[in-house]
Amino acid sequence: MASLRAAARLRPSLTRMTPQSFLRAQRAFTASALKAAPSAAPSYITGEPAGPTIKTEIPGPESKKAIKDLDTVFDTRSLNMLADYTKSIGNYIADPDGNVLLDVYAQIASIPVGYNNPALLKAAQTPEMASALINRPALGNFPSHDWAEVLRTGILTVAPKGLDQVFTAMAGSDANETAYKAAFMWRRQQERGGAHVEFTEEDIASSMLNQAPGAPQLSILSFKSAFHGRLFGSLSTTRSKPIHKLDIPAFDWPQATFPLLKYPLEDHVAENQKAEAEALADVERLITTHHLPPCAVVVEPIQSEGGDNHASPAFFQGLRALTKKHNVLFIVDEVQTGVGATGKFWAHDHWNLDTPPDMVTFSKKAQTAGYYFGNPELRPNKPYRQFNTWMGDPARALLFRAIIKEIERLDLVTNTARVGDYLFSGIESLAKKYPGEIQNLRGKGQGTFIAFDSPRRDEFLKKAKGFGVNIGGSGEKAVRLRPMLIFQKHHADILLEALEKIVKS
C-alpha cells in the first residue's frame, strides 16, 4: 500500500472539474502513470506500456465512425468499446483513436495471458496450428493420430484432481449442456439397472416423440442468480437476469436459494452460516420433492454474471455431501472461475473436497471448452450418444496447451494469488475511505477475482474508461474485476489509483 500512496501523490486531484479540465486531468494522470512505472517490476509481456493513454473520449471520432458502419451489418447495441487488437498488448487494450486502457475486464474474463502474448503468437504460427485450422476433423469419427498426445500434453495436464477424462466442446454453454446430457444418461442408465441393460421399446418410441420415458421427466438443479449459458438447456439453469431469459421457452427445472452473504464476512459469521444452512436445506428439499427429480446439481464456485456471489468452502462441502447422499451428480461450472483467476488453477481447489466433483466444465480463459470427468460410468453406454460433428476444435486445444505452458513458465497462478491479495488490501482501504461508494467488497483470498458493489455502477464503469481502465460489471450493481493472469503489482497500483479517482470524481 505504501507504493500506492506514493503513486497517488503524483496524481492531480480530479474532483469537481469541467469536462475540459477533466480530460486534461485524465491525460496528466495517464502521463504520470507512464512516468511512475519504470521503478516497478518488469511486466511479463515485453513492450507493454507503462500505463494507459487517453487521447479522446471513448468512443472517439474514429471509433464512432467505425461503429456506425459496423451497425449496418452487426448489432452494436451491446458494444462496449471498439478495439484494435493489433495495437493491444499484455494487459492493455487499444482502440482506433489511440486510446490504450488497462483492461481488467479482459473479454469477459476470457483472455488468460495478455493480448499478443509472444508465446501464444509462436504457437499460433506453427505448422501444427495451421494444419489444425485448415484440416478440422470430425473428432469423434476421424481424430488425428496425435489427438491423444494433444490432450495429454495440454487439456489433461490441468485436469482437476480425480478427473482424468475430458469431453471437448465449443464454448461454455455447450460444455454445460453436454455435461447435463451425460448426467441424464447416467441417471436413466442407473434406473434401467446398468450399462448392459438395453433401452426398452417404450424408451425408444417415446424418445422420438419428445415424451417420457425416452425423453425423461428429470431436471438439473441450479441456483438463483446462477449463470450457465444461454442455449435452451443451459438457459433453463440460468437465473441471472430477465434480459437473458425473456421470451425463451424453458424447462420447468428447480432453482435453489443461493446464500447471499453479508460483508465484511467477519462481522456476519452467524448470519452467513445460517444463510448457507438454509440454502443447503433448500437444495435437499428440491432434490427430494421436486416434481422433475434433479439428476445433477450445477453450481459456479463464484456466481459471476449473477453479481459475484460467493459462498464458503463449508457450503460447497455441504453441497458435495448432499449430492452424494441423494445419488445426484455434482457439476461445477468453472467457465468463468477456472484457469487460475482465483489464485488456484480451479476455484473448487479452494474447497478441499473429500471426493472430487463428478464433472467440471470449463471455457473462457481456456480458449476452448468442455467438461472433465473421472467416473467411467459417465461415458455413455453406447457410441454416438454424446457426439456432434466437430466436438471441439483442435486448433483451440493447441492454443490452450500453449496457455497452460505460459501459465506454468511464469508461475502465473501464484502471481495471481499474490497480486490478488495486494489488490484486495488496496480496495479494502479505499472501501474504508469511501464506504458509500465501495460496498460489499468480496473475493478475499480468491486471487484477482474481486468485486464490490457501487451505488452508481453503470456510471462508475463508464467513468473508468476516462481514467484509462476498462472494467466490467456483473449482476445489478457489482463492479467485477477480471484481470488477466499477467496482472502484476504495478498494474494493481494503476487500477487502485484509477478506482479512487473514479470514486472521487
User: Site residues for a copy of itself, window 111-170 (CB under 8 A)?
Assistant: 111, 115-117, 120-121, 123-125, 129-131, 133-138, 140-145, 147-148, 151-152, 156, 164-167, 170
Q: Residues 119-151, buried b or exposed e (16+ Cβ, 10 A)?
A: bbeebeeeeebeebeeeebebbeeeeeeeeebb
Q: Which of residues 18-47 bind a copy of itself (CB under 8 A)?
A: none
Answer yes or no whether residue 215 interacts with a copy of itself by CB under 8 A. yes
Give min distance, CB of 380 to a copy of itself, in A: 8
Cα–Cα distance for residue pair 451/468, rounded to 1 Å: 19
267 is catalytic: no
Question: Is residue 296 within 8 Å of 311, Cβ to Cβ?
Answer: no
Residue closer to a copy of itself (CB basis): 293 or 318: 293
Comparing CB distances to a copy of itself, the nearer of 253 and 422 is: 253
> Is the Cβ of residue 46 or residue 384 nearer to a copy of itself in the bound state?
384
**Identity of residue 298:** V
Of the pair 166, 299, the CB lying nearest a copy of itself is at 166
Q: Which of 344, 364, 463, 477 is catalytic?
A: 364
- Helix or strand or coil: residue 50? coil
Q: How many CA atoms lie within 13 A of 495 on its CB side?
A: 30
Q: Tell me whether residue 32 or residue 76 sits nearer to a copy of itself (CB atom).
A: 76
Q: Which of 1, 6, 389, 432 binds a copy of itself (CB under 8 A)?
A: 389
- Nearest by Cα to 116 from 42, 24, 38, 45: 45
Residue 291 binds a copy of itself, judged by CB under 8 A? no
What spatial distance separates the first Cα and last Cα of the chain, rounded to whole Å? 22
d(CA 236, CA 228): 9
Q: Is 181 in the site for a copy of itself (CB under 8 A)?
A: yes
From the list 32-40, 176-184, 343-351, 410-418, the region that binds a copy of itself by CB under 8 A is 176-184
Q: Mask: binding to a copy of itself, 54-73, rule CB under 8 A, as x and -?
A: --------xx--x--xx-xx
Q: Is 379 in the site for a copy of itself (CB under 8 A)?
A: yes
Residue 164 to residue 378: CA distance in whole angstroms? 12
- Nearer to a copy of itself (CB atom), residue 211 or residue 327: 211
**Closest to 180 (Cα-Cα) out of 380, 320, 303, 331:** 331
Of 164, 262, 389, 432, the active-site residue reads: 389
340 and 109 Cβ atoms separated by less than 8 Å: no
Q: What span, in angstroms and rounded, lies between the C-alpha atoms of 307 and 472?
A: 11
Q: Is 358 in the site for a copy of itself (CB under 8 A)?
A: no
Interaction between residue 366 and a copy of itself (CB under 8 A): no
Query: Is residue 204 a contact point for a copy of itself (CB under 8 A)?
Result: yes
Question: Quick check: 79 binds a copy of itself (CB under 8 A)?
Answer: yes
Binders in 245-274 for a copy of itself, by CB under 8 A:
245-253, 255
Active site residue 227: yes
| Length of the chain counted residue by residue | 505
Grid cell digits, residue 106: 479482459
- Residue 470 phi, psi dihedral angles, 5° rounding: -100, 115
Active site residue 97: no
Residue of 333, 358, 393, 493 with catalytic role: 333
197 interacts with a copy of itself by CB under 8 A: no
Q: Is residue 389 flagged as an active site residue?
A: yes
- Supply 307's cell numbers: 453479481
The continuous run of DSSP H or E covering 474 comes out as strand 472-474
Strands laid side by side in the 439-442 sheet: 439-442, 450-453, 478-481, 472-474
Catalytic residues: 227, 333, 364, 389
